[in-house]
């Protein structure tokens, strides 16, 4: 019996590379595609000798075809504020053109399809915690809109292919995820704090630090993706950790785990930065039997060696 074959777009990224690992562990053969705009080959170097894995450098904003596949996991998109601010046009393109092309592959080969969407679809939410039925409070023309609206549009395209063409689709809304293989200069909370704490620099907190986030360790997040992929649910599902922390509490956790004596520095809050972020995961629990198991302090400890090494390597490069 032949192994099922999965296509992962954005396979050299943080989540994409972990997904490739998990699919291989689940018995799939995997073809990963990435244009390496923000993905890194170092995230996949441990798979080079695996005959079940294939990497192709492809820009999916152009039509593409890697042959028959059973699953398409569409994870290509700049995801960090640093990346999507720098590559705003490319972010909009991959959310639109790239999504059409990934869906065309799924349609052609009658493959199951899962797209990585985001809690940013909820914007600066007026509902707390956020349920999948909430339509969001998003500024469609603000500096974050290149990411927020690209993801909202990609959800619309995905549902249209399901309704009009019968493509077997799934949509995961991802909440703040962290762990090894994140870029050090990612701009997101955990890498920022880990980098600053390990360098002995002040930790940058925006606003007064009372805004909240919910942090999910990467292995918990990937488990949720695989459970959703095997389900028959077509509407969006939140996958994230519902335990909520203020940004200040997160900073304190990082200082504890790293043993750093760094102080905290306050900066103005960026425009449209959400004040609250916490998933309602009732649907994921009920439908998928999914519940995250790794708390923030444990996950930070599991990530520490990776961030230590990344800080050391960056320092070595800078001489």
How many CB atoms within 10 Å of residue 163? 11
147 is catalytic: yes
Token reading at 294: 């790794």
CA torsion sign for 238, 282, 244, 220 is negative
Q: Are 127 and 88 within 8 A, CB to CB?
A: no
- Output the CA angle 102-229-299, nearest 5 degrees: 105
28, 71, 113, 147: which is the annotated catalytic residue?
Answer: 147
Whole-number Å distance between alpha carbons of 101 and 270: 33
Tokens 């705003």, residue located: 88
β 244-246/112-118 pair status: unpaired
β 212-214/244-246 pair status: antiparallel
Sheet holding 71-74, edge to edge: 53-57, 29-34, 5-9, 71-74, 112-118, 169-174, 237-239
Phi, psi of 264 (to 5 degrees): -110, 135
Whole-number Å distance between alpha carbons of 128 and 250: 19
β 237-239/177-178 pair status: unpaired
DSSP annotation of 231: S
* Cis, peptide link before residue 140, omega less than 30° from 0: no
- Burial category of 2 from C-beta neighbours within 10 Å (exposed 0-12, middle 13-18, buried 19 and up): exposed
Which residues are tagged catalytic?
Answer: 147
């Amino acid at each position: 019996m032949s192994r099922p074959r999965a296509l992962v777009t954005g396979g050299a990224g943080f989540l994409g590379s972990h997904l490739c690992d998990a699919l291989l562990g689940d018995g799939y053969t995997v073809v990963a595609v990435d244009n390496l705009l923000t993905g890194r080959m170092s995230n996949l170097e441990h798979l080079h000798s695996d005959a079940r894995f294939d990497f192709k450098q492809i820009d999916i904003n152009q039509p593409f075809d890697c042959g028959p596949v059973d699953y398409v996991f569409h994870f290509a998109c700049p995801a960090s504020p640093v990346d999507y601010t720098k590559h705003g046009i490319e972010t909009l393109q991959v959310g639109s053109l790239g999504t059409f092309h990934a869906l065309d592959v799924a349609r052609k080969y009658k493959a199951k399809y899962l797209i990585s969407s985001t809690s940013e679809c909820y914007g600066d939410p007026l509902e707390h915690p956020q349920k999948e039925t909430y339509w969001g409070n998003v500024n469609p023309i603000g500096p974050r809109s290149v990411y927020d609206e690209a993801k909202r549009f990609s959800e619309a395209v995905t549902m249209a292919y399901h309704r009009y063409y019968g493509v077997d689709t799934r949509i995961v809304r991802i909440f703040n995820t962290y762990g090894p293989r994140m870029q050090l200069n990612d701009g997101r909370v955990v890498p920022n704090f880990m980098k600053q704490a390990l360098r002995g620099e002040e930790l940058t907190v925006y606003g007064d630090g009372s805004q909240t986030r919910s942090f999910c360790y990467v292995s918990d997040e990937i488990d949720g993706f695989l459970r959703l992929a095997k389900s028959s649910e077509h509407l969006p599902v939140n996958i994230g950790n519902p335990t909520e922390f203020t940004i200040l509490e997160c900073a304190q956790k990082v200082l504890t785990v790293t043993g750093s004596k760094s102080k905290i520095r306050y900066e103005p809050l960026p425009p449209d930065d959400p004040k609250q972020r916490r998933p309602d995961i009732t649907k994921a629990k009920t439908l998928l039997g999914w519940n995250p198991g790794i708390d923030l302090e444990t996950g930070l400890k599991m990530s520490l060696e990776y961030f230590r090494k990344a800080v050391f390597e960056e320092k070595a490069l800078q001489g």
